[in-house]
Amino acid sequence: MYKKILIIFITLAVIVSMGVAGSGCKSAVTTEKADTATQEAASGAKGEVTLRMLMEDIPATHAVEALLPEFTAATGIKVEFEIVQYMDMHQKLVTNFMSPTGQYDVIEVDNYWAGEFPATGWIIPLDDYIKRDNFDVSVYIPAMLDMVGYFPRTGNNKQIYMLPIYSYSMGLLYREDLINDTELQETYKALYNEDLKVPETLEEYVQQCRFMQENAGVSGSAMQGGRGDPIVMEWSNYLFALGGDYYDENWNVTINDEKAIKAVELYKENIQYGSPEGALSFALDDALRIMSQGKAYSMISYIIMLPLLTDPEQSTVADSTRMIPMPGELGLAGGWGWAIAANSQYKDESWEFIKWVESAEIAKKRALNDSTPARIDVCEDADVIAKYPIYPTMLKVISKSKPIPEFLYSAEMVEIVGRELSLICSGEKTAQEGLDLAAKELEELAVKAKLK
């Protein structure tokens, strides 16, 4: 008897679950018109609105947190932050979007996901709001707006989905004291018949790293060769420095052309001869420690590392660390943007928040509190520069960088390339084999994303 009941139960469960799933997931992708309509109908009284936001635990977040009381005083809207780690954030956001009613209203979007979220309709375009309130987007560094602003980046259909928060473009951090050391300079000149100076090309940089490792008692480059994000972010600098890219403008794969192969070979050479022993397992933190303990000549890393490495309380080489844009053509750009979740019930209020937090006045206050700005006017403000003389350097690095291709499957692309790079650098494949396989899979991704 109970067997029969069990069977009925299970059948019902199947029907119910298909219903819940089908309807639940589809309705997360509602059209914007329907949403604003219901919102206008529902929001008679603003009442007790609390915006929930998912943020990372970094100074930029703290800077905003400190100013929240001002926002609540001005608008009556409360804001609640939830703090999670970067990788966990993506998981939580994706899971959150599966549901018709979301848990978050305003979110910060990393440029890796800046292609994914608009394409799936998980965040809404902001053009109408911007037009309605006359928000001036020209104050943003154009590269930032392209990266975490418009989607698609090019073409006639582009809309603004995000407003930039801050940039973490990558450049070259190096030890000035080592470059200026006369003994090292002489040895270098004798070996290579060139001067030891701030490197201008990628080849020169790799050569210097090897030299430093063999002669200066430090690692050449504190590389973050860990599989996944770390190795891809670092290697992209090598690729872009040589003028290469993942895809071209028409989404043809270029990840296995000669420039890319050369970039891989230089990277592998640096791993072997110019990096600390565990480099193939290093993420940002591991590499950063090497640099901050003074055990490396250089590090290709984010501009937000510069304040850290020049702070005597966090770095033993605070005085001698400098930063320049990536030697070669371009470095890797990265950054975050504010966006409104499509399944949020408080879209209007979310826009109020974004408008407020990115207003010139608040942006300046944040910048004075260790939050790297993305707005040109703030970057060039005298007060800001007085407190953070490194900002102009950062601006230089940002302007000489470009992001990885942003589309629906950027995250998967990074995972594929990361895997192949790690295999190549641990000697299990040749550069050509690895990049060819990556090229094949990247091609499939472009097709899956309906870009070709």
Partner 1 sequence: MGLKQNKNISNIFTYIILSVASLLILLPILWVIRTSFASELIAYEIPPKLFFVPTLKNYIELFGRLGFGSFLKNSLIIAIGCTVVSVPIAALGGFAFTRYRTGGTTLKFSVLATQMLPGIILVLPIFVIFNTIHFTNTYIGIILAILSFNLPFLVWLLMGFFEGIPKDIEDAAAVDGATPWSTFFRIVLPITVPGIMSASILSFILSWNEFLFALLLTGNNTKTITVSLSAMVTHRGTLIGILSAGTIIAIIPMILLSIFVKKYLIEGLTFGAVKG
Partner 2 sequence: MKTLAQQKKRTGLFFISPTVLILILVVLVPLIFSFVISFFNYTLVDPSFDRFILFKNYSTIFQDTYLWNSLKITLIFVFTVVPLEFVLGFFIALLLNRNIRFKGLFYTILTIPMVMSPVAVGLIWKMFLHADLGIVNYIFSVFNLPSVNWLGSNKIALLTIILVDIWHQISFMILILLAGLKSLPKEPFESAKIDGASNTQSFFYITLGLMRPVISVAILIRVIFSFKTYDLVYTMTRGGPGVSTELISYFIYKKTFMGMDFSQATAISYVLFVIIMVIVIFLFREMSGRKWD
Positions touching partner 2 (CB under 8 A) are 2, 9-10, 13-14, 16-18, 21-22, 25-26, 87, 90-91, 94, 98, 116, 119-120, 219, 225-228, 276-283, 286, 289-290, 293, 295, 408-409, 411-412, 414-415, 418-419, 422-423, 425-428
Q: Which does 386 bind (CB under 5 to 8 A by kind): partner 1, partner 2, none?
A: none
Residue 447, binding choice from partner 2, partner 1, none, Cβ under 5 to 8 Å by partner class: none
Please, which of residues 365-384 interact with partner 1 by CB under 8 A? none
Q: Look at residue 164 and give the partner it binds from partner 1, partner 2, none, a contact being a CB closer than 5 to 8 Å depending on partner kind.
A: none
Edge-to-edge strands of the sheet including 321-325?
A: 219-221, 296-302, 170-175, 321-325
319 binds partner 1 (CB under 8 A): no
Q: Which one, 412 or 443, has the nearer CB to partner 1?
A: 412
**Of residues 207 and 298, the one with the C-beta less far from partner 1:** 298
Among 12, 15, 24, 37, which residue interacts with partner 1 (rule: CB under 8 A)? 24
Q: Helix 202-215 and helix 258-274: axis angle, to 10°?
A: 10
Q: Does 302 bind partner 1 (CB under 8 A)?
A: yes
Residue 309 CA to residue 86 CA, distance in Å, equals 21
C-beta of 427: minimal distance to partner 2 in Å?
Answer: 8
**21 forms part of the interface with partner 1 (CB under 8 A):** yes
How far, in Å, CA of 226 to CA of 224, rounded? 6
Residue 346 interacting with partner 1 (CB under 8 A): no
What does each C-alpha distance from 119 to 47, 320, 410 come to in angstroms?
A: 33, 44, 11
Give ∠ CA 387-309-287 in degrees, rounded to 5.
150
Between CA 13 and CA 66 the distance in angstroms is 48
Structure tokens at 435: 């990049």
Cα 352 from chain centroid (whole Å): 25
Q: How far is the CB of 415 from partner 2 (least distance, A)?
A: 5
Q: What is the DSSP string of 335-353?
A: EEEEEEBTT-S-HHHHHHH
Which of 222, 244, 213, 243 has its CA nearest to residue 301?
A: 222
Residue 288 contact, options partner 1, partner 2, none, Cβ 5-8 Å cut-off depending on partner type: partner 1
Q: Which of residues 391-410 bind partner 1 (CB under 8 A)?
A: none
Given partner 2, partner 1, none, residue 48, with its beta carbon under 5 to 8 Å by kind, binds none
Per CB under 8 A, does 289 bind partner 1?
Answer: yes
- Neighbour-count burial for 286-324, b at 16+ CB within 10 Å, e otherwise: bbbebbbebebbbbbbbbbbbbbbbeeeebebeebbbbb
- The 3-class secondary structure across 370-415, one letter per residue, is CCCCCEHHHHCCHHHHHHCCCHHHHHHHHHCEECCCCCCCHHHHHH
> What residues are paired with 375 via a beta bridge?
140
Smallest distance from partner 2 to CB 441, Å: 10
- Closest separation in Å from C-beta 242 to partner 1: 26
Contact between 38 and partner 1 (CB under 8 A)? no
Residues 213-272 that bind partner 1 (CB under 8 A): none
Cα 74 to Cα 117: distance, rounded to the nearest angstrom:
30
- The contact set with partner 1 (CB under 8 A) reads 17, 20-21, 24-25, 52, 56-59, 62, 80, 82-88, 91-92, 95, 98-101, 103, 168, 284-285, 288-289, 292-293, 302, 304-305, 308, 313-316
